[in-house]
Amino acid sequence: MEEKRINIILFGPPGSGKGTQAKQLEEKFGLVQVSTGDLFRYEMGNNTPLGQKAKEYMNKGQLVPDEVTVGMLKNKIDKFPESKGFIFDGFPRTIPQAEALDALLAERGESVNSLIALKVDDDEIVKRLLERGKTSGRADDANEEVIRNRIAVYKAETSPVYNYYAEKDLSVEIEGVGSIEDIQGRLASLIESI
């Protein structure tokens, strides 16, 4: 019998450690990390039809429509038919995106197994991002006001997604503060229980 794939949404505000944790989970469980930021860079960098479409919207200062983002997501998933599952990092951010992800997985007879939210308080996030800003070269990591605005946007836009999966009894919150190893241990034991 074929092993069931695991599909995890790793959730948390900017600077909560999603990227760091996703990379380690990827290695430990044989999952594939799907980061929307990486998808956009890949599609646009390779000038694919979806990348060209995304650029058109971005050049006009508009948000890239969900169907373009979901198309990129589908391309990524299709590249890894043998994977043990996926860690979605930075997606979905809205209810329509969550519904689109559910539909995309349902086409494959799969579903989201869990949304895991890393809980980190605002002051800790500000501290982490200001620290990261010293080396990342990202302007949005260097200004506390911008960081606090990013946190507010995250809370406003993405808390409905947490609730959407909570209604399906799939949302879990874990402590996102401590050593990378401690947080990894919490995540791993949660995933092992799925």
**In the chain, how many domains are there?**
1
pLDDT band at 64 (very low <50, low <70, confident <90, very high): confident
Domain around 41 = 6-192
Let me know if residue 112 belongs to a domain: yes
- Nearest in space to 88 (alpha carbons), one of 4, 3, 18, 179: 18
Residues with catalytic roles? 18, 93, 132, 138, 150
Question: What pLDDT shows up at residue 169?
Answer: 97
Question: What pLDDT shows up at residue 154?
Answer: 86
Let me know if residue 58 belongs to a domain: yes
Let me know if residue 109 belongs to a domain: yes
Question: What pLDDT shows up at residue 116?
Answer: 96
Question: What pLDDT shows up at residue 2?
Answer: 52
CA atoms of 150 and 14, how far apart (whole Å): 7
pLDDT in tens, 135-172: 888 888 888 998 898 888 888 888 899 999 999 999 99
Share of the chain above pLDDT 70, in %: 98
pLDDT band at 1 (very low <50, low <70, confident <90, very high): very low
Is the pLDDT at 88 greater than 60, yes or no?
A: yes
In single-letter form, the type of residue at position 179 comes to S
Q: 127: domain CATH number?
A: 3.40.50.300
Let me know if residue 17 belongs to a domain: yes
Mean pLDDT across 115-139: 91
What pTM does this model have?
A: 0.87
Question: What pLDDT shows up at residue 13?
Answer: 87
Let me know if residue 1 belongs to a domain: no
- Nearest in space to 36 (alpha carbons), one of 24, 47, 50: 50
Let me know if residue 61 belongs to a domain: yes
Let me know if residue 14 belongs to a domain: yes
Q: Which residues of 14-33 are buried (b: 16+ CB within 10 A; e: fewer)?
A: bbbbbbebbebbbeebebbb
Let me know if residue 156 belongs to a domain: yes
- Measured CA distances, 164 to 7, 21, 150 (Å): 16, 23, 21
